[in-house]
Amino acid sequence: MGLAYTILVAGLGSRVEDFLVPVLADQGHIIHTAVGPTAIFATLDTQFDLLLIDLPSEGELGYLRELRDRCGCAMVVFGPARNDRLLVAALEQGADDYVQRPFRTDELLARIRAQLRRVQRNRAV
């Protein structure tokens, strides 16, 4: 087992990927969950290493910039496939990565590990 990181698994819509919570917890991470913008912003008094955000549609894009500004941690967004405009916009609004749904869990976990390696390098500086 590697280092434990604090991760927020959150949904800007009406859901959150509950199956990811036990997978990430089994890897030794400290997991918090929140659904909806109000709940997500209320959790930001906690110091997170990574935000894992479900972005259901373009209607929630405006929240990403504020999340980036208020948290400053790594942010991986997952959302609908075949929507290149949403993918590019999410990255432009501050996401560090975008994973299209349906995603393979192993791919998402690899992308999460990549972001956490960057977090670890920044801690060492």
Q: Rounded distance, CA 61 to CA 51, Å?
A: 15
What does the pLDDT read at residue 28? 93
Q: Rounded distance, CA 61 to CA 46, Å?
A: 22
74-112 pLDDT, tens per residue? 999 998 888 899 999 999 999 999 999 888 889 999 999
8-43 pLDDT, tens per residue? 999 988 777 788 899 999 999 999 999 999 999 999
What does the pLDDT read at residue 14? 78
- Which numeric CATH code is attached to 6-124? 3.40.50.2300
What the block records as the tokens of 22 is 């036990």
Under 8 Å CB-to-CB from 113, ≥6 apart: which residues? none
Residue ranges per structural domain of the chain: 6-124
Q: Rounded distance, CA 114 to CA 112, Å?
A: 5
What does the pLDDT read at residue 124? 67
Decide if pLDDT at 2 tops 80: no
What does the pLDDT read at residue 125? 60
Single pTM value for the model? 0.90
51-80 pLDDT, tens per residue? 999 998 899 999 999 999 999 899 999 988
Amino acid at 32: H
